[in-house]
C-alpha cells in the first residue's frame, strides 16, 4: 500500500483554494499541483492559435502539449513544450475562456490522466481544482471543499489583478466569476460540485491561517488512521 497522502481541495474561483493549498503543501513538504494552471495553459495556447470554438483542434493541441508545473518559493511555474507560460495564463482573456475550454471532454480526459500520474508521488500531494475529489482522486485521504460569498470572491480576485498590474473593477470581476460558476457547475463532464464526503469550509470570514489549520487538522487525522508519520513545518 502506498504510504503517501492525497489531499484534494476543490471550490470555485476566488474561494481561497490556491492560497490554502500552497501553504498546506509547504507546511507538510508535499508536492503542490494547481490543476487550474493546466487548463489555463491550454486556454492560452488555444487563444494564441485562434482555435477557440474548434474542439477537435483544441483536443489535438492538448495531446501535443507536454505540460510541466514547478512550485518554487510559493509560485507555480508553467511550461508547455519547454515554453514558459507562467506570466501569460493569468489574464482576463484567459479567465473569460478557461471554463469553456475546461468543459471539453477530450481535454479533461487527457489532463486528468496526467494529474493521476502526478498523484503517484511518494512524498504526498496537495492537488487543487474543481473535480479533484469527485473525479481525479475519489479515494483522496482528505477532501476539502472551499467556498465563499460571490462578493468576497470578486474582491479577492480584483485584488490579485491589481497586484499583478492589471486593475479591473470589482463589478466586472464579479460578473466574470458568476459566468464561470454557471459554466463550471453545469457542464456535463466533471462539473464543479462538492464530494459527498468532503469537508466544507466557508472562507468568507475566515483568516487564511485559520483555514490552513483546519485542513492540517484533517490531514493529521488521516495520517493517524493510516499510520503515516507527517511533519508540519
Q: Is the pTM of this model over 0.85?
A: yes
| Tens-place pLDDT, residues 87-128 | 999 888 998 999 999 999 999 999 999 999 988 877 799 999
For residues 15-27, average pLDDT: 94
pLDDT, residue 1, reads: 45
| Tens-place pLDDT, residues 34-66 | 999 999 999 999 999 999 999 999 999 999 999
| Tens-place pLDDT, residues 165-186 | 889 999 999 999 999 899 999 9
pLDDT, residue 2, reads: 58
Euclidean distance between CA atoms 196 and 223, whole angstroms: 21
How far, in whole angstroms, is CA 38 from its chain's centroid? 9
* Residue recorded with cell 515554453: 83
* CATH 3.40.50.150 correct for 6-212: no
For residues 25-30, average pLDDT: 93
Amino acid at each position: 500500500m502506498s504510504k503517501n497522502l492525497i489531499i484534494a481541495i476543490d471550490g470555485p474561483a476566488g474561494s481561497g483554494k490556491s492560497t490554502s493549498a500552497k501553504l498546506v503543501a509547504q507546511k507538510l513538504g508535499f508536492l503542490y499541483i494547481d490543476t487550474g494552471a493546466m487548463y489555463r495553459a491550454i486556454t492560452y495556447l488555444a487563444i494564441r492559435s485562434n482555435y477557440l470554438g474548434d474542439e477537435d483542434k483544441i483536443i489535438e493541441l492538448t495531446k501535443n502539449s507536454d505540460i510541466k508545473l514547478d512550485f518554487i518559493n510559493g509560485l507555480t511555474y508553467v511550461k508547455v513544450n519547454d515554453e514558459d507560460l507562467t506570466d501569460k495564463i493569468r489574464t482576463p482573456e484567459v479567465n473569460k475562456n478557461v471554463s469553456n475550454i475546461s468543459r471539453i471532454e477530450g481535454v479533461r480526459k487527457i489532463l486528468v490522466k496526467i494529474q493521476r500520474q502526478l498523484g503517484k508521488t511518494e512524498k504526498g500531494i496537495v492537488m487543487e481544482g474543481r473535480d479533484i475529489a469527485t473525479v481525479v482522486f475519489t479515494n483522496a485521504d482528505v477532501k476539502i471543499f472551499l467556498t465563499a460569498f460571490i462578493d468576497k470572491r470578486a474582491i479577492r480576485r480584483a485584488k490579485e489583478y491589481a497586484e499583478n498590474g492589471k486593475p479591473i473593477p470589482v463589478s466586472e470581476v464579479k460578473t466574470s466569476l458568476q459566468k464561470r460558476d454557471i459554466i463550471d457547475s453545469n457542464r456535463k463532464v466533471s462539473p464543479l460540485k462538492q464530494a459527498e464526503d468532503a469537508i466544507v469550509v466557508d472562507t468568507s470570514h475566515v483568516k487564511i491561517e485559520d483555514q490552513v489549520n483546519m485542513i492540517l487538522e484533517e490531514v493529521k487525522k488521516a495520517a493517524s488512521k493510516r499510520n503515516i508519520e507527517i511533519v508540519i513545518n
